[in-house]
Amino acid sequence: MSTTSLGDHVYEQIVAFIARDGLAPHGRLPSEAALGERFGASRPVVRQALARLRAEGRVYARQGAGNFVGEPLPLSGVTFGSLQSLSDIRALLDFRGVLEGETAARAALCKDRHLLHAITAKRRLFDAAVAQGKPAIDEDIAFHRAIAEAGGNRFFVLTMAALEEQFRYAVKLVRELSPQARQDRSRDVREEHRAIDEAIAAGDPQAARAAMDRHLRGGVARLFGG
């Protein structure tokens, strides 16, 4: 892999690291050496990635103090509007199938063990919230977000962030209107999440895409039947 390609890869990993660990604006990043060790890259490659992040305003440097997280970037005014009908919900779930099937497949190719462990950790948090009788919508979204972050493309992550309100509403509606018993629905979702997680952990992109597709088609079936 060329130095430029490595720099792009580390750039994406740092963006995902900031999002995954919830680093607030003005929070300090690890040192260049620590980032290099974390992502398996040399310091020159890390510097290249950090230079790009600074140029975009995602990161800024303080003399003698290191690199810090910049203010969040606007989503270029992109909004998707509210969901107006059940057909909108169906269209959203169909769109998620296309988008997240690909993110799952790419996540299966991820070599960053921290990103992969985060997927399993978020899945377990979802399972624990369900077991406690909580709505677990935030935990559900966090699981899917972790998969997008492991996919290594910030535009997947940004698109999901822009659609989070719609995702949240769709999940809530599926749960409220589904004719399936809550216990059975929760069991099916947990099993689907586990299948996605295991396929990603196994490094099998085709199985990961198929598992995500089954999960989101399951959401359609839970709402519309069939």
Q: Is residue 83 predicted with pLDDT exceeding 90? A: no
CA atoms within 13 A on the CB side of 198: 7
pLDDT bracket for residue 72 (50, 70, 90):
low
Write the Ramachandran bin of 211: left for phi over 0, alpha for psi from -120 to 50, otherwise beta: alpha
- Max alpha carbon distance in the chain (Å)? 61
Among candidate residues 156, 197, 168, the one with its CA nearest the CA of residue 15: 156
What residues are paired with 62 via a beta bridge? Answer: 66
Find residue 28's DSSP bridge partners: 68
Q: At 97, list the tokens.
A: 């199938």
For residue 74, what pLDDT is reported? 56
Lowest mean pLDDT among 11-15, 26-30, 144-148, 177-181: 177-181
pLDDT band at residue 73 under the 50/70/90 scheme: low
The span from the CA of 90 to the CA of 223, in Å, is 9
Share of the chain above pLDDT 90, in %: 33
Q: Which pLDDT score is estimated for 5?
A: 66
Partners of residue 69 on adjacent β-strands: 59
- Over pLDDT 70: what percentage of the chain? 91
Of the two residues 19 and 126, the one the predictor is more confident about is 126
Residue 209 has pLDDT above 90, yes or no: yes
Mean pLDDT, residues 10-17 taken together: 86
**What is the H or E stretch that residue 68 is in?**
strand 66-69
Dihedral sign computed on CA atoms, order 134, 137, 140, 146: negative
The string of pLDDT tens digits covering residues 122-178 is: 999 999 999 998 888 889 988 998 899 888 887 888 888 888 888 888 777 777 777
Q: What is the pLDDT of residues 89-135, one digit of tens each?
A: 888 888 888 999 999 999 999 988 888 998 999 999 999 999 998 88
Greater pLDDT, 206 or 4: 206
- Rg of the chain over all Cα atoms, to the nearest angstrom: 19
The values of phi and psi at residue 225, to 5°, are: 85, 165
Q: What is the rounded CA–CA span in Å between residue 198 and residue 58?
A: 33
CB 141 within 8 A of CB 125: no
Distance CA 73, CA 185 (A): 37
Contact by Cβ (8 Å): 35, 16: no
